[in-house]
Amino acid sequence: MDKLENDHKPEKAADLPSQVHNQPPDHRTRGNIEKDVDTQSWPEQRWQRVTQWLKISTFTPEWLPTPWNHPVTAYLFALLIPLGSMILAVLLRNVFLTFVFPGVLVVMAILVVALLWGTVPGLLATLWGTILFNIIILPPQYSLSLNTFQDIFETCFLLIIGMIISLVVSRIERARAKAVLARQELETAHASLQRLEQELARRASEVEAIFESMADGIYVYDKQGSVVRTNIAAQTFNPLTRQPAYSIRPFPERIKSFLPRDEQGRSLELSDLPVMRVLQGETLTGSHTADTILHRPDGTDVLLNVSGAPMLDARGGVQGAVIVTRDVTERRRLEQRTHEALDALLAMANVIVQVSDEADTTLIETSEQTLPVSRNVAQRLAKLTRSLLGCKRLSISIVEPETEFLRPLAVVGLSPEQEQNWWDEQLQQKLRLTDGPDQAVIQRLQADEVVLLDMTQPPWNSYPNPYKIRTVLIAPMSIRDHLVGLMSLDYGGAEHLYTSEELALAGGVAKLITLVIEREQLLRERARADARELALLQAKERMDEFISIVSHELRTPLTTIKGNIQLARLRLRASLRELPADNDVLRSMLEEIQMMLERAERQANVQNRMVSDLLDISRLQADKLELRRVLCDLTTIVHEMVEDQRSTTPKRVIHLVMEEGETAPVIADTERIGQVLSNYLTNALKYSKVDRPVVVQLKKEENMVRVLVRDEGPGLTPSEQEQVWERFYQVEGIKRRRGSSVGLGLGLHICRAIIEEHRGEVGVESTKGEGSTFWFTLPLAEEDHDA
């Protein structure tokens, strides 16, 4: 019975739609219920099982309120309604003594319960009603007994009638529920069908809208090649497709008037046409699309990119074709234009990178500078720019920096006669940049902005216009925010709409031309600089050669002069000793001559030192400076040079600072190191005041020895400290001590070369106005060095 009820239990109408596709939770199997309650406690499991059994053994019609739908309510009323019917039967018997059908009320109660809550509650009501009928109605009352055959018959009859009512009513109700479910399923299916039809209609509308709104022409052909359908784009391309008579004409007749050709302009055979290829089963997509040139009725040729696919039936037979055509005429024209522009840009790049060796140049003279511009290069650039921009005429002019005169540089797009007239007019007019009628245009050009001039509007329509130009584009050519030229172009009398891309391209090309012109100017300036550098190098070599020759040529007479002076002094000294003591006048004259000879000898020594410096410089330049290195004590060299300077300049104070008994062994040329120290001391005495001392210091530092000469002269700036070691450099603004000799600016340069040859270093530390400290270092010799 439980299984029967579980299999055929009707459901609430509210649950029926969801049950079409999904089984409700109440229809779970006993095994699933047991699995759900395995994790619960024993009382909870028992209650869960009872609840589940109650749910699967009852059903309620949808019109009952929610509290009456609960299974507990069904079983509760299955007990209460039969009880109420028995109470009512007792009352009726007491009121109506002749009332002889009390069992009818029990049957009615069973019927009500079975109708409302199903078979199991109906059977419960039947059993309970039979028990109550036996206890309350059948004698003896209020006892459960069957004493007579009549009592047994009535009880069994009532029980059987109740069971039949419960089963029959349950079957009837379940049949009704199935009918409701079928009706709802039918309604749901009908609603789904309506939604599907609406969706199909919407999709069809979308497909239709897409079909008609596509910019490409779409043609649908049957297998005979007749046009079945076209979209608006196809009808616009060929208005004849709107005529039914045209569409049914044979395909060869229709296509013949369009003169189909391939990309190279060769005529196409009928079998090579894209439509026929698709009707033969070929698919034209991706890289396999076909480009076809067609001649339109208006006399123009168009290039169509054709793609398509065959329409197949269930057996794979071709039933027609769908052809999609795209007008790529403008795109191919743009591609060709792009290729031409790229070629022009590459050619311009070639002009930029190639070395300019043209001899034909136009020199634009200004008050301050000469700007070289190659007319041949400018003419090539103008031709390339015209090819790049696709204009009819193009000219390039240069603006003089100071006078702002416009000078023609190149023009293209004119006949030879027109070009000659253009050059004559430009050279004769001598226009200034500021002579234009609209200063706002000049300001925009100076601000590096591309300008468009409408020659049909004032004030430009009042100017001569021999070439019937409608619009002129002027692009500035600027170098470092300075306007140096103009590039102007036009498309003749044709109305041309300049796009922002064209304006930007014209501005960019103008800047490129400017770079080419600036590059050529820099190349010419570099060539001049190279020539000047070469001339300086040659002059330097000649000067070095001259110094070498002069120094050698001067050395011999100076040696002779110095020797004669010394010999004259010796003879004069001997004459003074032999001169009588009473001859004072002659003695005075001879002493004066001796003093003059001493002065001459000192000057000869100065000249000899200068010649020695010149010889050293020539040897340094020829890399022939000879050094005789020996093991020597630097302290001895320093001490001797200080004593020599003290004897030479007895009025000057020279302090020598070094440790008593200290030695500083070095491997050096004693004469050359002495020359360096002598030069340091000479400069310190020369450029410091007579009453200020000069300090010479020697100190050892690890593996080297440092010699410093400190003075209190005018000092040097940082830049002068770097340049003082250069050849022929003399510090400007520093006065020598009165009586000191004039130098050539070679001494410190020679000192640095000598010290560096000894693997030492030179340097100076100075503060302007506080004196200078010149120093040099030499590496100490090893103690076990064998001289």
The pLDDT tens digits of the residues spanning 78-114 come to 788 888 887 787 787 777 766 556 677 777 787 777 7
Of 515, 608, 505, nearest to 554 by C-alpha is: 608
Confidence band of 638 (pLDDT split at 50, 70, 90): very high
pLDDT score at 4: 38
pLDDT score at 540: 62
Instruction: Look up tokens 């109550």; give the residue.
Output: 132
Between 739 and 399, the more confident residue is 399
| End-to-end Cα spacing for the chain | 134
Q: Percent of the chain having pLDDT more than 90?
A: 9
Question: Are the CB atoms for 485 and 399 separated by under 8 Å?
Answer: yes
> Per-residue pLDDT for 732 more than 80?
no
Interval 640-668 mean pLDDT: 89
pLDDT score at 632: 93
**Identity of the highest mean pLDDT range in 130-139, 388-397, 427-436:** 388-397
Kindly calculate the radius of gyration of the chain based on its CA atoms and give it in whole angstroms: 62
Confidence band of 554 (pLDDT split at 50, 70, 90): low
pLDDT score at 142: 65
> Per-residue pLDDT for 368 more than 50?
no
Question: Are the CB atoms for 22 and 83 separated by under 8 Å?
Answer: no
Q: Which of 166-175, 264-273, 339-348, 416-425 has the lowest mean pLDDT?
A: 339-348
Handedness of CA 344, 345, 350, 351 (dihedral sign): positive
Confidence band of 505 (pLDDT split at 50, 70, 90): confident
pLDDT score at 637: 92
Interval 436-449 mean pLDDT: 84
Angular region, 415: left φ>0, alpha ψ -120 to 50, beta rest = beta
For strand 217-222 and strand 393-399, is the pairing parallel, antiparallel, or unpaired?
unpaired
User: What whole-number distance in Å separates Cα of residue 593 and Cα of residue 587?
Assistant: 10
> Per-residue pLDDT for 696 more than 90?
yes
Between 763 and 62, the more confident residue is 763
Interval 63-91 mean pLDDT: 74
> Per-residue pLDDT for 378 more than 60?
yes
**Identity of the highest mean pLDDT range in 227-236, 611-620, 756-765:** 756-765
pLDDT score at 552: 56
Confidence band of 615 (pLDDT split at 50, 70, 90): low
Name the strand (E) or helix (H) holding 233: helix 232-237
Give all strands (DSSP E) within 455-584, no chain letters.
471-479, 482-490
pLDDT in tens, 25-35: 444 444 444 44
Confidence band of 777 (pLDDT split at 50, 70, 90): very high
| pTM for this model (two decimals) | 0.39
Question: Are the CB atoms for 487 and 477 separated by under 8 Å?
Answer: yes
> Per-residue pLDDT for 684 more than 70?
yes
Reduced to 3 states, what is the DSSP secondary structure of residue 301? strand
Between 320 and 124, the more confident residue is 320
**Any bridge partners for residue 490, and if so which?**
393, 472
Give the Cα-Cα-Cα angle 423, 428, 434 (nearest 5 degrees): 100
Query: String of b and e for 622-639 (b: at least 16 CB within 10 Å)?
Result: eeebeeeeeebebbebbe
Interval 378-395 mean pLDDT: 84
Q: What is the mean pLDDT of the chain?
A: 76
What residues contact residue 408 under an 8 Å CB cut-off, 6+ apart? 395, 396, 397, 422, 423, 426, 427
Q: Percent of the chain having pLDDT more than 70?
A: 74
User: What whole-number distance in Å separates Cα of residue 64 and Cα of residue 116?
Assistant: 9
Confidence band of 617 (pLDDT split at 50, 70, 90): low
> Per-residue pLDDT for 679 more than 80?
yes
**Rounded to the nearest 5°, which phi and psi values hold at 583?**
-95, 75
What residues contact residue 144 under an 8 Å CB cut-off, 6+ apart? 131, 134, 135
> Per-residue pLDDT for 281 more than 80?
yes
pLDDT score at 735: 52
pLDDT score at 403: 80
User: What whole-number distance in Å separates Cα of residue 532 and Cα of residue 526?
Assistant: 10
Question: Are the CB atoms for 72 and 100 separated by under 8 Å?
Answer: no
pLDDT score at 45: 67
**Any bridge partners for residue 451, and if so which?**
474
pLDDT in tens, 214-258: 888 888 888 888 888 888 888 888 777 777 777 777 888 788 888
**Identity of the highest mean pLDDT range in 40-54, 61-75, 563-577:** 563-577
User: What whole-number distance in Å separates Cα of residue 136 and Cα of residue 142?
Assistant: 5
**Identity of the highest mean pLDDT range in 182-186, 373-377, 556-560:** 182-186
Between 732 and 24, the more confident residue is 732
pLDDT score at 143: 67
